[in-house]
A and B are shown apart, each in its own frame.
Chain A
Amino acid sequence: MVDFILGHYAYWFTLALLVIGLYGMMMKKNLVKKLIGMTIFQVSIIIFFIASSVKWGATVPILDHGDIEKVHLGMTSAIETAKYINPLPHTLMLTAIVVGVATTGVAFGLVIMIYKRYKTLNETELLMRMKKEDDSDSNQ
């Protein structure tokens, strides 16, 4: 039981961040607060991948001098892979971070255009003004 808790507690902390992000996206009425919730959601996924890619007793994924000598001598299969952590999740999360930055930039651009047109950032107020504009357009 203690072994199970010690092996899985990191996943539960990222689950807490996930639920906080989802709560912010669903329950808040201001558009900027919804965007903050979306950013927290993205960051929790990145933390989950990075936290689950460690190996006990291993070091950073950069080859050190002894292993470089082994490669120059031609014995590539003598490199112990249990000494280095898994490099694949780190690579994929680099891409994910930059995509998150791009999405946040575009989302804030859209929020600025919404405010220029409708002069409000509250969700219920925004829906009412959009409905009023649709009704006045269809009555013409």
Chain B
Amino acid sequence: MRIIYYLVLIVFCGLMFYAAAGLPNRGDPNAPMNLPKSRCGSTEAAHYYIQHAEKDAHTDNMVTVILADYRGYDTLGEETVIYTAGLICFLLLRKRKKEKAK
């Protein structure tokens, strides 16, 4: 049974190695995600965000503008996730008060 586990690990490792070999070089300024225009002709997202962050939101930090303004809906969903996790721990683990005998 453990032979199958080891075989799965080796196959997974080989598959990920083959996939990582197809990625562009790390740090290449001409990689497809760093160019001004994407392959189909539209404006690339990072290029637009870097140029228009100060004009749209009067803020120097681009990461905060993306997190709270351009992609603010995703941040709301993520805050709901952490709130749900807190509620799950609350409901599972708090002790109940003993009911008084009538």
Binding site for B on A (CB under 8 A): 3-4, 6-8, 10-12, 15, 18-19, 22-23, 26-27, 51-52, 54-58, 61-63, 67-68, 71, 76-77, 79, 81-82, 84, 86-88, 90-91, 94-95, 98-99, 101-103, 105-106, 109-110, 112-113
Within 8 Å by CB of B23, from A6, A52, A55, A103, lies A52
Which B residues are in CB contact (< 8 Å) with A68? 54, 60
Which B residues are in CB contact (< 8 Å) with A77? 51
Contact B20 A81, beta carbon cutoff 8 Å: no
Mask, B14-38, CB within 8 Å of A = 1, is: 0011001101111111000110100
Contact A88 B46, beta carbon cutoff 8 Å: yes
Within 8 Å by CB of A82, from B29, B49, B75, B85, lies B29
Q: A57-B29, A90-B63, A99-B82 are in contact. List 4 more A-B contacts (CB 8 A).
A: A4-B21, A84-B50, A98-B81, A98-B82
Contact B62 A63, beta carbon cutoff 8 Å: yes
Interface core residue of B17, B50, B53 (most chain A CB under 10 Å): B50
Contact A26 B9, beta carbon cutoff 8 Å: yes
